[in-house]
Structure 1
Amino acid sequence: MLRSALALPLAVACAATPPPAPKLFLADARSIALFPGPDRDTWLVSRNVSDLQVAHREGTGWSVPAPLPFCGPHRYGDPWFSPDGAWLYFWSNRHPDPAHTAPDSTTHLWRARRAAEGWGPAEHLPVTVQGQPGGLVFPSLAPDGDLYFTSQRGSLGRRDLFRARKTGEGFAAPENLGPPVNSAADEFDAALDPTGQCLVFTRADATGCDLFLSRREGGGWGAPRKLGPEVNGSHGAYCPSFSPDGKTFFFTTPGGSGWAPGIYQVGAEVLAFRAPAAPAVPVAPGRISVPGAFGITFSPDGNTVCFASARAQINLARRRARVEEQLDLPFTQAYHNLSPALSPDGATAIFASNRPGPGARSDASAHHAAFWMTRREAGTWGPPRYLDNLVDPSRDLFIDSPSLAADGTLYFTAVSVPGSNRSHLFCAVPDGDGYRARPLGPELDRPDSDQSDVAVSPAGDLLVFSSDRPGGAGGLDLYQSRRRPDGTWEPAQPLHALNTPGPDANPRITPDGKTLLFFSIRDGKPGIYEVPLQACGR
């Protein structure tokens, strides 16, 4: 009987005997790796956090940035001053109902009043602008007070640019800017220059993520034109904005191809497609332009600046009386770190990081193009060791989601096809001090879909991964495959009983092989959920 149960694919067993509803294991977390032990009370957890920072001009420089007082335990981004400087607009995943203290499953537009005596509380913009559900980002105010923002609702493709006209003390219902600005591609982050005649925005498609310029023509906008190499390139560019006098243009890049991640400034003559007097340079490097900084806005007098600061961090934590206690984890300090993976014995950790080091290209940071490994001996973690690019050392690749089997085999995902932003599944076996990688076959992978996360069982005989391939419940869904005796993998099958219309991703299998952990948003609660593998035929 045990043999027949183990032989069943997860999807078939789940269909015959639906598993219990997944339980919330850890709220507001994206990815987790548990240490071995019967109590399951110690883990590495990955969280993405972002807040809004403010700095003031001091002589020729800027004060040390400080978080804005209305920022709490939620995520914030894309700040934008109103033309009179009295309001700061931004997005946040805080819930519009104050009774809900947990983060919302989507983002909303907010604003806070700025006065001589300080900042007022955050105010949720009216539903006439927001619509239902949320998912709005990058609010920006035109000189005439019209509100521009990005949303996927009613779009021509992916995300589109919208405008809500200023009406008295509020805004009219938003309208899609339509073609030629919006298209079947992904348009986002719209900013008007101080004259209101130039619209700069980002368009992302298979060729890259670049800034475009459209000029006002009558009551609409002309055909967009891609800005030049002074700002665009394979590094990607977004979050455009302007100095109050319109003479300086700002943008954000995640880094790559010789560009460090951060916020840059360049002469606004690039908008006239003329070579600037000087190349683009970081804004106050080390203070304002740092890895994770994005989106910058100035008060009308130019003496106050706000920007967003995002951090991807890994914490070591343990549960004590239902409270998550943060512990010291020295190898993750001061860098962006994502996707922790632990070997089943808890002695080895592999994670993605933007840290510099021998053989690691610093311009690859925001693409998570490097894995790092650290080992634990006698309770102490050793220094992280760089793992050379496992797919193609000559290219800056997005590499993510490591997972280790007990025999040391490493599974992960990588964007490996030139001109594509889709991730695919890879397997790497130990080879000396490093690994030898190969792509997994078509039984698991699909060239037309994104395979974004993968987890392997301790025995190495089961893979669970997430994909947006057609036929799923919506967004990213969970799939499974078992390894055959000859080492090949069975065709991937969806975990219908677990998948929802929202994201179901970041799977992890506990060190004892008994529980599946994964990220999901259920009943409006984002976090790590758990379900017994035994209930799914495991």
Structure 2
Amino acid sequence: MSPRYFVLAACLVAAFAAHAQTRGELLGSGTISTGLQETSVALTPDGNTLYFMRSDFAERDDTILVAHREGGRWGAPQVAAFSGQWHDSEPTLSPDGRRLYFVSNRPLRAGSAPLTAEMHGHRFAGTNLWYVERQTDGRWGAPVHVDAALNDGAMIYNPSVAANGDIYFSAHRPDSGAAYQIYVARRTTQGYAAPQRVELGDVARNRMDPAIDPQQRFLVYAGNEGDSLGSADLYIAFRQPDGRWSKPLHLPGEVNSTALENAPSLGPHFGELFVSSNRRDEVAFPKPRDTAATLQQRLQQPLNGSRNLWRFDIADVLRAHGIEP
């Protein structure tokens, strides 16, 4: 399991056993969302091409997939052209769709060893930020390493890009406290400035997986501010007139559950929020007696405790805080 969640391990056990209601819209049941782990939606501006991550339960083998909408339904995913050899994860698109950022343990130079990291005595695949750029023929170019201060270290996660090129991400850095915090690297004419921690409160709270509004009016992220229903929930903070961030608010309604919610991303439509969650179907006992075949079929389906992809609408929350399309 990713080291970002070691600090939540005890809560995760309870979350996997929880019988959360399956609300919202499950994305591509059986095609996109399966009995494996799926996280990190990146949807093109036209809404017809979807990039996401699929992995094993331990998240030791992460790969970025791409699927296309065909006749109103998602076609079978394929491994993205730039992925499939390294520990690639957490794709995100720039608002104009011309760049796709992701994190990877791939080495900077061919033939070198893959990037590794260590935290609390655990060694695991390290991550740096990379991107691919859309070419004139519509295909992606070769992956490019982001040579900037935000790639200091080997624990960079969940990039999210504003319209002006500022990159938000979560990381473990010297000023992160015991776990993870959210940072922003500002785009300048000379490249990216040194990352600054996004001030959201006490660094004793673990904060991960930012999803920034393209205009940077609000920020959605995963964490636990003391009122989480599960091991991690989703929160939203709003930009104040003085430039600071408001106190984070626990997202209301169906977005959060007693399961794990993380890896939020914003869709191309106003209020569209994609979430990874391991909420599962409720099992009532006594259940209809399984055969070996029905048991295997049921346990391999979505909502078996693996993380799946969900779509929610938070437009009312945004409008209540003065955000309009």
| TM-score with structure 2 setting the length | 0.71
Residue matched to 2:172: 415
1:172-227 Cα offsets, whole Å, 9 max, x none, are xxxxxxxxxxxxxxxxxxxxxxxxxxxxxxxxxxxxxxxxxxxxxxxxxxxxxxxx
Pair 1:381-2:140 in alignment: yes
Deviation of residue 441 (structure 1)? 4.1
Residue matched to 2:314: 533
Deviation of residue 462 (structure 1)? 1.1
Residue matched to 1:364: 116
Deviates further, 22-31 or 346-355? 22-31
Q: 1:369 to 1:418 in 2, by over 3 A?
A: farther
Residue matched to 2:81: 330
1:420-477 Cα offsets, whole Å, 9 max, x none, are 65110101111356422333343x1431121121101122211000102322212101
The 5 A counterparts of 1:389-538 are 390-391=149-150, 393=152, 396-417=153-174, 421-432=178-189, 434-442=191-199, 444-497=200-253, 498-524=255-281, 525=303, 526-538=307-319
1:102-152 Cα offsets, whole Å, 9 max, x none, are xxxxxxxxxxxxxxxxxxxxxxxxxxxxxxxxxxxxxxxxxxxxxxxxxxx
Deviation of residue 501 (structure 1)? 1.4
Equivalent in 96, 104, 121 of residue 353 of structure 1: 104
Q: Secondary structure at the match of 1:30?
A: strand
- Alignment check: 8 A CA contact 1:397 1:416 kept: no
Deviation of residue 377 (structure 1)? 2.1
Distance 2:82 2:74 in 1: 24
Deviation of residue 495 (structure 1)? 0.9
Distance 2:159 2:151 in 1: 16
1:46 partner amino acid: M
The 5 A counterparts of 1:89-488 are 310-321=60-71, 322-327=73-78, 329-358=80-109, 362-364=114-116, 366-378=124-136, 379-388=138-147, 390-391=149-150, 393=152, 396-417=153-174, 421-432=178-189, 434-442=191-199, 444-488=200-244
1:293-343 Cα offsets, whole Å, 9 max, x none, are xxxxxxxxxxxxxxxxx4100011113243432346321131110100101
Q: Secondary structure at the match of 1:331?
A: coil
- Alignment check: 8 A CA contact 1:454 1:466 kept: yes
Q: Secondary structure at the match of 1:463?
A: strand
Ranges in structure 2 where 5+ consecutive residues have no aligned partner = 1-21, 118-123, 282-302, 320-325
Distance 2:240 2:108 in 1: 39
Q: 1:407 to 1:391 in 2, by over 3 A?
A: closer
Deviation of residue 492 (structure 1)? 1.0
Residue matched to 1:242: none
Residue matched to 2:297: none
Distance 1:533 1:398 in 2: 30
Pair 1:48-2:50 in alignment: no
Residue matched to 1:226: none
> What is the Cα-based RMSD across aligned positions, in Å?
2.7
Q: Secondary structure at the match of 1:536?
A: helix
Matched residue count: 257
Q: 1:513 to 1:427 in 2, by over 3 A?
A: farther
1:339 partner amino acid: E
- Alignment check: 8 A CA contact 2:201 2:247 kept: no
Residue matched to 2:44: 35
- Alignment check: 8 A CA contact 2:115 2:126 kept: no
Moved over 4 A (4+): 358-361, 418-421
Distance 2:79 2:103 in 1: 19
Give the number of the structure whose residues are more often strand, by fraction: 1
Deviation of residue 409 (structure 1)? 1.1
Distance 1:512 1:390 in 2: 32
Pair 1:25-2:27 in alignment: yes
Deviates further, 373-382 or 444-453? 444-453
Distance 2:248 2:113 in 1: 35
2:67 partner amino acid: A
| TM-score with structure 1 setting the length | 0.44
Distance 2:193 2:125 in 1: 21
Distance 1:441 1:352 in 2: 20
Distance 2:190 2:61 in 1: 30
Q: 1:511 to 1:390 in 2, by over 3 A?
A: farther
Q: 1:311 to 1:537 in 2, by over 3 A?
A: same
**Which entry has the higher C-alpha Rg, 1 or 2?**
1
Identity of aligned residues (%): 26
Distance 2:256 2:198 in 1: 23
1:447 partner amino acid: V
Ranges in structure 1 where 5+ consecutive residues have no aligned partner = 1-19, 50-74, 78-291, 293-309
Deviation of residue 522 (structure 1)? 3.1
1:536 partner amino acid: V
